[in-house]
């Protein structure tokens, strides 16, 4: 399997990986974003959390979607190394509010969503 690391976070690259997180994982929606998560494969050679990002066309044109995706990447790089679990796969889904919501509130949304996901699954 091929992984790309970004700030100690590896990326989900294949559509099948995103679908596995959606079908088998837990989802928590907050005002600024949605996080889906599932325990990763049993591949112990890669213990880091993996993350993927999705922003639909409902958010806006390509410029707005890319801006929302960049904000989600920044949130993930701030939150997941401290609060993400090893060997878990996470998908951050952007919403229309992701563009205008203050960064501090997005951070709190992500932290709260991760806490809720981990409480549900453990």
Q: Which residue has the higher pLDDT, 121 or 68?
A: 68
Q: Predicted confidence band at 120 (pLDDT cuts at 50, 70, 90)?
A: confident
pLDDT of residue 66: 97
Whether the per-residue pLDDT at 5 is higher than 60: the answer is no
Q: Predicted confidence band at 1 (pLDDT cuts at 50, 70, 90)?
A: very low
Evaluate whether 87 touches 50 at the Cβ level (below 8 Å): no
C-alpha triplet 18, 100, 11: angle, nearest 5°: 25
The 50-55 sheet, strands edge to edge? 5-6, 9-11, 50-55, 88-94, 33-39, 26-29
Domain boundaries, given as residue ranges, for the chain: 5-121
Q: How many Å separate Cα 83 from the centre of its chain?
A: 12
| Distance, CA of 80 to CA of 118 (rounded, Å) | 12
| Distance, CA of 11 to CA of 59 (rounded, Å) | 22
pLDDT of residue 103: 97
DSSP label at residue 81 = H
- The tens digit of pLDDT for each residue in 36-73 reads 999 877 565 667 789 999 999 999 999 999 999 999 99
pLDDT of residue 9: 77
pLDDT of residue 45: 60
- The tens digit of pLDDT for each residue in 14-25 reads 999 999 999 999
Evaluate whether 14 touches 32 at the Cβ level (below 8 Å): no
| Distance, CA of 20 to CA of 40 (rounded, Å) | 9
The CATH architecture annotation of domain 5-121 reads 2-Layer Sandwich (3.30)
- Mean residue pLDDT across the chain: 89
């Amino acid at each position: 399997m091929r992984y790309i690391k970004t700030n100690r976070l590896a990326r989900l690259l294949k559509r099948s990986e995103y679908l596995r997180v959606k079908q088998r994982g837990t989802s928590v929606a907050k005002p600024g974003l949605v996080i889906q998560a599932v325990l990763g494969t049993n591949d112990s050679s890669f213990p880091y959390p993996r993350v993927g990002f999705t922003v639909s066309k409902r958010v806006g044109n390509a410029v707005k979607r890319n801006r929302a995706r960049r904000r989600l990447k920044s949130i993930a790089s701030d939150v997941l190394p401290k609060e993400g679990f090893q060997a878990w796969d996470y998908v951050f889904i952007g919403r229309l509010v992701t563009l205008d919501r203050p960064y501090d509130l997005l951070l709190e949304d992500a932290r709260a969503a991760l806490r809720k996901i981990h409480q549900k699954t453990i």
